[in-house]
Structure 1
């Protein structure tokens, strides 16, 4: 019973670290979301890894992706 409780608390602590750690060296979800807010990084990633599209369709895609985040 103690081992199960200890394992549960350890997993919970790891999930919290992965989610909310603000140290720049850690790959936390909070840091990834902050990186996604950087429009230059997003445009670089779209240019390198997205499926090629017509320029007008790509511009609409970027606008559609960023409208919810700017509110």
Structure 2
């Protein structure tokens, strides 16, 4: 099965779970499917932004994307 590509978009005031939750789910899915022929296959997950730089999440945590 082909690898799926998923991009998670970052923006100011994003909630941590809005990106970290999805990233974790896709990462675990890929890890569990290594070597298996499960229907979900592998997932290549990236975090991106329309414009690179610093983003402050709702909890004031700073994320930098280049």
> What is the TM-score when the length of structure 2 is the normalising length?
0.30
Write 1 or 2 for the structure with the bigger share of strand.
2
Greater C-alpha radius of gyration: 1
Greater relative contact order structure (CA < 8 Å, 6+ sep): 2
